Amino acid sequence: MHSNAIFILCTESEIDLNLPHYSALSLESEGYIHACCASQVGVVYQQFFSSHSQVCVAVIDARLVTAEIKYEAPSESIDDDNLFPHIYGKLNTNAIVDILEYQHFSHQDLSDRLLDVLAHYRFSRLPVEGTLYKSTWRASTELSSHKPVGTAMIGMYCHALRSVSCFHRLSHDEVWHFYAGDAFNLYLLYPDGQVETVVMGADFAAGQHLQYLIPAGVWQAGEIVQSGEYAIFGCTMAPGFTGDCFEAADHDLLKAQYSSMSEVIERLAVNDGEVTMPDGFAT
């Protein structure tokens, strides 16, 4: 029995989710769109995409695909004995539940439950960090600086699609909320040198928190616990979040300052040296 998660490798701008359908060149030349299973993504990358920059993986819920999917031998010479999923028709883009950078794909299969969550929330990827997120409230009332008085978002951490938060700090306080799924860790590095790991989750008897305040100026990062599948959380800010209140860390400098957290800092350094949000983001 095949997994309901299939994948398409593509360049960064190849798939436009604002369009109703995606049509690869192979659909005209071969009659189908090439896709692959989680275990085949690495083989396809090495064969066809290793010389490209900014390669992405589109995550597709096969249950939502309107065209026929057939599992067949690959048309190209690929060193793999398994059959590959071929999509016989244009791909409806509402079957694409995530697009992430190839280097953050973990080559793990996805459960139906995780696909259900992705299809329901329709997350985007946060610039710089790549975290799965969705803006849910942006106050229409503004401060004198023309910034919103408050904002809220929903996010999700998971291993299979590598959604984490790199170390960053904000110029305003931020309140975190645990909503559903498995517990996750918030790592806090304070200006005075103190470090703290806060476990967000529903098990209050184990010391987990449903809600936690992170003061402005504290370096923060987060990831799901090692044994977890996914964690859904929320963040609320007042004044609201704008791109200019965000600063990602130079992780090498941070390791020098907080040596006891070096392993965590290195693991979560997913921002590739970017430290600021793109101009105009969340303004």
Task: Note down pLDDT in tens along the chain; length 283 residues.
Answer: 789 999 999 998 899 999 999 999 999 999 999 999 999 999 999 999 999 989 999 999 999 999 999 999 987 766 556 899 999 999 999 999 999 999 999 999 999 999 999 999 999 999 999 999 999 999 999 998 889 999 999 999 999 999 999 999 999 999 999 999 999 999 999 999 999 999 999 999 999 999 999 999 999 999 999 999 999 999 999 999 999 999 999 999 999 999 999 999 999 999 999 999 999 999 8
Is 282 a domain residue?
no
Cβ proximity of 203 and 166 under 8 Å: no
Query: 192 and 116: one domain?
Result: no
Query: 147 and 13: one domain?
Result: no
Distances from the Cα of 33 to the Cα of 75, 153, 205, 208, angstroms: 11, 35, 50, 46
Query: 67 and 160: one domain?
Result: no
* Residues in CB range of 95: below 8 A, 6 or more apart: 60, 61, 62, 64, 65, 66
Query: Could you tell me which residues are beta bridge partners of residue 99?
Result: 58
Number of domains in the chain: 2
* Residues in CB range of 267: below 8 A, 6 or more apart: 223
What type of residue is 78? Answer: I
Query: 129 and 256: one domain?
Result: yes
- The CATH code of the domain that includes 17 is 3.20.170.20
Query: 115 and 161: one domain?
Result: no
- The CATH code of the domain that includes 195 is 2.60.120.10
Q: Which domain holds residue 61?
A: 5-120
Query: 227 and 149: one domain?
Result: yes
Cβ proximity of 173 and 151 under 8 Å: no
Query: 155 and 104: one domain?
Result: no
Is 17 a domain residue?
yes
| Predicted local distance difference test score (pLDDT) of residue 79 | 58
Query: 52 and 172: one domain?
Result: no
Query: 216 and 97: one domain?
Result: no
Tokens of residue 236, six digits: 């609320």
Query: 72 and 112: one domain?
Result: yes
Last residue of a domain, one of 120, 142, 159: 120
